[in-house]
Amino acid sequence: MTIPDPVNDDSQPATDTPSAERLTRRSIRSFVVRNGRTTSAQTDALQRLLPQFGLTYSDNPISLHTAFNREAPVWMEIGFGNGDVLVNMGTNNPEANILGAEVHESGIGHALIGVEQNALTNVRLVQHDAMEILENMLEPASLDKVLLLFPDPWHKKRHHKRRIVQQDFLDAVARTLKPGGILHCATDWAEYGEWMIERLEKDSRFKNCAGPSQGSPRPEWRPVTRFEKRGHRLGHDVIDLLYTRL
């Protein structure tokens, strides 16, 4: 899941704060909840808009048709950060329902401000571990797209176990994606891109849209993220990986 400033944060230990306990029961987490400042505007948005656009995490499957008050293709973004991509997708794809998972209140507040400013009705947000959402809260074959854009690379070898792209993640995505649905991963960390490719190419439930072990061009519907812009400034090559659920 996207963490503020995930690139090479050598100074931060891989420890979890007590607030993480209510967001997941998993012993190994792909995120760390760090104390961050929530602005007054974000706090106001959380108080006013979260009851309307937020979904409470559930250990039991929910009806997404009921949650969005309509039937439409559902795209899920995992770790949406400040919500800019989420809001962009909701604005430019009114035919789709956009579900976002994020653990940081400031990001959720920022996204809610964008939802209100753009008068969106097709966005819903969940403040919880995306893995547990995929495993427990969503019905099988209920998603049309899953987006994992610039997750924390956890670049140190001893932290690789915290990377979200593991076998349990692929199992959860395979369960919730419809046949023909798309898993879209993107990273500017070359070694993590290789890590993703290695695991996805071994999984017979997914087929690379660009051909075996190949990256895809950035689809027009995916806006450029702030992490991507920073990666370019640092001289990192960005890779998009699109896989179809067979």
What phi-psi label fits residue 59: left (phi over 0), alpha (psi between -120 and 50 degrees) or beta? Answer: alpha
Residues tagged active-site: 152
CA distance 91 to 94: 6
**Is 163 strand, coil or helix?**
coil
Sheet containing strand 123-126, strands side by side: 123-126, 97-101, 74-78, 143-149, 177-187, 239-245, 206-208
CA angle 231, 236, 242 (to 5 degrees): 85
Tokens of 141: 């074959």
Q: Are 91 and 120 in contact (CB under 8 A)?
A: yes
180: Cα separation from own chain's centroid: 19
Tokens standing for 140? 């099988």
Cα(93)–Cα(167) distance, integer angstroms: 31
